[in-house]
Chain A
């Protein structure tokens, strides 16, 4: 029987005979180096630290590979030193393993549903002919930092990099929906993308958002990212952008947009992507999906990350170094980022960088001048414009969502 495994073994043997190593062997020669470069958090599960590697998908820079298939690759922290994340370093997250190479020429978007007055099919030119809008917005996986949970919870064990911020350009979803007309009975807008499961019984990745969120001016059917077509692994040729909400709703390779008068009941809406009701201070709610105990995850929690330095960074006593990073939230905007160098006893406001809009990464920096030699920790804490701050203690939840514990970096002062 020819399996993928036996084929690989045979190919390996064949390659040795001809003297040219297959591509994965050449890559594995630099694996140790790659692992050192990824600077993985010691808080991650031991097995994650052992199996994660730096690896490049076609069209991408080497990213931190957590799983090959479906591809789940996170962005190394170094790329978050600017508020815009480059397309070729932008994280990749899929649930299903069949990811077709969609061509813009043949791509079709079905718009309709029982909550709409009609149905149409748009092609790529139709979409690009519509009025175009831009938003700079953070796309963050609901489970970003899941791997840092204590106790650990199963899933993709992300570190800090299951997120990115880009300038998205596309048609407004409300303009797309206006082409068919949404009935007043409609309660949710349902998205499907071209990616598919391997076995037919696996639930297809179908997501819905409330009609009110679909009608917001910052909810797009996007076809450009940072002035370029979307990379294949970020949803070419078009994806949904739900500014402020976690990445689960940002359906890639979108092929269907349907207005529904009943709640979407698929696996990926329930039980997946749920948080316990009342556990997080979410203002934005998705109430048509509520059960007695759980509610869909919605807006991102206020958060920040120190990106200029990693644990163990050397600094001379008496010298000043600029410590900085990025802060973001679910779209209220960042009011302040404060820094503490005494373990959280006192806090000083950092300077904020350019404001790219309330949905974007906001950079911050702080002049750090350590006096005493030894280990010294710098903490950063963001607060948004509605007064929400990052948490000191993890708000544990079964699926490992919304980790926004204050980040710190330990410097070696010499």
Chain B
């Protein structure tokens, strides 16, 4: 147990020192797991609340499309729809 705890602590400190990044808690709602699994690969999730609550449904669709078409995010169509729906209903 002690070994595991030390290893995890070491990992957490290394991460904190290198990135200074803290977890961003988004609204718990269906689709959040797809948002976390896809969006957080390239950017921290604070981009989402930062850009709220002023985007309408078309605005959020445009953001998801931009991530895929302009930035090459490897998000499949099914996930893209779930992500867009999550953003529209929560932010």
Which residues of A are interface residues toward B (Cβ below 8 A)? 4-5, 7-8, 10-12, 14-15, 17-18, 22-24, 27-28, 45-48, 50-52, 55-58, 65-71, 97, 151-152, 154-157, 197-203, 267, 271
Indicate if the CB atoms of A97 and B42 lie closer than 8 Å.
yes
B5: nearest chain-A partner, CB-CB: A14
Cα separation A394 to B86 with both chains bound (whole Å): 32
For B17, list chain A residues within 8 Å (CB): 23, 58
Residues 1-29 of chain B, each 1 if its beta carbon lies under 8 Å from chain A, else 0: 00011001101110111011111100000
Contacts A7-B15, A51-B24 known; list 17 others, CB within 8 Å. Answer: A5-B36, A24-B23, A28-B22, A45-B51, A47-B51, A48-B51, A50-B49, A57-B20, A58-B17, A65-B46, A67-B44, A67-B46, A69-B44, A154-B55, A197-B42, A201-B73, A267-B70
Which residues of B are interface residues toward A (Cβ below 8 A)? 4-5, 8-9, 11-13, 15-17, 19-24, 36, 40-44, 46-55, 59, 63, 70-74, 91
Contacts known (A15-B9, A201-B74); A68 close to B50, Cβ less than 8 A: no
Indicate if the CB atoms of A203 and B71 lie closer than 8 Å.
yes
A-B contact count (CB 8 A): 129
Q: Report which residue of A10, A12, A70 has the largest number of chain B beta carbons within 10 angstroms of its beta carbon.
A: A10
Contacts known (A97-B43, A151-B54); A14 close to B71, Cβ less than 8 A: no
A-B contact pairs, 9 of them (CB 8 A): A11-B15, A45-B50, A48-B50, A51-B49, A57-B20, A67-B43, A67-B46, A68-B44, A69-B44
For B48, list chain A residues within 8 Å (CB): 47
For B24, list chain A residues within 8 Å (CB): 51, 68
Cα separation A21 to B55 with both chains bound (whole Å): 37
Indicate if the CB atoms of A157 and B51 lie closer than 8 Å.
yes
Other-chain contact of B23, A8, A55, A152, A198 (Cβ < 8 Å): A8
Other-chain contact of A201, B11, B13, B41, B71 (Cβ < 8 Å): B71
